[in-house]
């Protein structure tokens, strides 16, 4: 066991809740490290997460996540700009951009940058899916009400319970890989 307690630097409580549920399966306690979003402009999630991590001075085992929604027909947009686009256009704006579009495939990607006294390590999780044609469900956050995972039953993440989303999500996949690695 490398660690049984690590920090997650974020301003997003939903991320803490989802990641804590996954890491608890590996006997790892996740502690919220409040962090305001100061992100570099980059089209690479791994670079963004690693840069944010390097800005943290404390000598504690800590992980930063950067996630995004990549829409294939829009050449990966909004990708690393997901939070900005969500704020400006919202889910209705994304659906408007995709109106009349039949090819609706998309993926969520979660990139983790973790650091402890031994170094910096990166982990990734991906979930493939497609965009719904309308906003469905009140659970989750962000783009969840318009994202239908391929391995589900046709419901959006917004229509799933936390446990159901966590069985399939990009975040749970990335944190499972981290959890396995930490318990090796």
Contact present, 120 and 113 (Cβ < 8 Å): yes
Nearer to ligand IMP, 28 or 69 (CB): 69
User: How far apart (Å, rounded) are the C-alpha atoms in residues 177 and 182?
Assistant: 9
Contact set with ligand IMP (CB under 6 A): 12, 65-69, 82-83, 86, 140-144, 169, 171
Is residue 64 helix, strand or coil? strand
Which residue number, 1 or 38, has a Cβ lying nearer to ligand IMP? 38
At a CB cut-off of 8 Å and minimum separation 6, what does 75 contact?
none
Residue 156 contacts by C-beta under 8 Å, 6 or more apart in sequence?
132, 136, 137, 144, 145, 146, 147, 148
Of 137 and 183, which has the nearer Cβ to ligand IMP? Answer: 137
* Residue 16 beta carbon to ligand IMP: minimum distance, rounded to whole angstroms: 12
Active-site residues, by number, are 66
Q: Smallest gap, in angstroms, from Cβ of residue 88 to ligand IMP?
A: 11
Q: Position of tokens 């997003």?
A: 12
CB of 4 vs ligand IMP, minimal distance in Å: 25
Q: What are the structure tokens assigned to 82, written together?
A: 């997901």
Least distance in angstroms from the C-beta of 166 to ligand IMP:
10
Q: CB-wise, 6 or 112, nearer to ligand IMP?
A: 112
Tell me whether the omega of the peptide bond preceding residue 78 falls within 30 degrees of 0, making it cis.
Answer: yes
- The phi, psi pair for 50, rounded to 5°, reads -70, -40
**Residues constituting the chain:** 184
Structure tokens at 124: 């990734």
């Amino acid at each position: 066991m490398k660690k049984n307690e690590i920090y997650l630097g974020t301003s997003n409580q939903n991320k803490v809740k989802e990641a804590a549920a996954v890491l608890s399966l590996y006997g790892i306690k996740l502690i919220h490290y409040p962090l305001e979003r100061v992100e570099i402009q980059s089209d690479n999630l791994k670079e963004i997460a690693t840069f944010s991590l390097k800005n943290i001075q404390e000598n504690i085992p800590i992980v930063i996540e950067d996630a995004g929604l990549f829409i294939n027909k829009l050449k990966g947009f909004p990708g690393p700009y997901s939070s900005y686009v969500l704020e400006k256009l919202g889910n209705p704006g994304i659906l408007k951009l995709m109106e009349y579009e039949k090819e609706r495939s998309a993926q969520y990607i979660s990139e983790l940058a973790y650091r402890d006294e031994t170094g910096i390590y990166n982990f990734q999780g991906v979930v493939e899916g497609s965009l719904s044609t309308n906003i469905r469900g009140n659970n989750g956050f962000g783009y969840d009400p318009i994202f239908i995972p391929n391995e589900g039953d046709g419901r959006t993440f917004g229509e799933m319970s936390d446990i159901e989303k966590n069985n399939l999500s990009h975040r749970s996949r990335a944190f499972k890989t981290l959890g396995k690695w930490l318990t090796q």
